[in-house]
Amino acid sequence: MSYFTSEPVAAALSNRLPVTFSMVIVAVLITLIASLALGITAAARGGVVDRALQSIGTISYVFPVIIIAIGLVYLFAIVLRWVPSIGFVPITRSPGHWLASIILPSVTLAVGGIAGLAAQIRGSLVDELGLDYIRTLRSRGVSERVILGKHALRNAAGPALTVFSLQFIGIFGASLFIERIFALPGYGAYAMNATVQGDFPVLLGVTLVSVVLVVIVNLIVDVAQGWLNPKVRT
């Protein structure tokens, strides 16, 4: 039971976790799609395209998240008025308004993770594309699209999966600050309030959820590693 609200911690978390998971899942999807596109393009094209994408990724990685959030709110919520700047709408009430309420915080969460994951995908693919079996496939007339998508990308996915697991946990942890900025009633804001108030039962519940999430994510990544690389299964 919370010291300050006398509310069961489990009930409070069950009400707030869907908000955070909505934001985190959309942020993870944005991170995956953008990182794959940037990493594959940089590795396949090389040259000026590679350097330009790496520069863009580095800038996005070092740019302060708070500045990105303020810039997105100013442009899309205040100037263009496409989405609300604060608040949350459950998906059961209106899927469109739900997406509009979480898209800005999700993009803010994704920006920092895209650079690191794209760099890892790009580096792994560059190493993989220089191996002998790739040259053998090319000499047999196999198309570059098949080589890249069916062979090189699968073999290069192992290190990227490890980075992705860390990115997922980082995104979930960063929600603590993002929810304060966008006034979302989620897990992060709940944890922040409990920390400020010294509400220890809530802090114990928040910590337990975080630990369980880390274990589950790492387990899924280990299973995926074994599926992608038979040598890992032993």
Per residue in 224-234, pLDDT tens?
A: 888 877 777 77
In tens, the pLDDT along 24-55 reads 999 999 988 988 888 888 888 877 777 877 77
Asked if residue 208 has pLDDT above 90, the reply is yes
What would the DSSP string read from start to end of 191-228?
A: HHHHHHHT-HHHHHHHHHHHHHHHHHHHHHHHHHHHHH
Whose CA is closest to 15, among 169, 202, 183, 185? Answer: 185
Query: pLDDT tens digits, residue range 136-179?
Result: 888 888 888 888 877 888 888 888 888 888 888 888 888 888 88
Separation CA 194–CA 229 (nearest Å): 43
pTM (two decimals): 0.85
Q: Are 15 and 213 in contact (CB under 8 A)?
A: no
Average pLDDT value for residue range 55-76:
80
Within 10 Å of residue 234's Cβ, how many Cβ atoms?
A: 5
CA dist 106 and 103 (Å) reads 5
Q: What is the reported pLDDT for 64?
A: 77
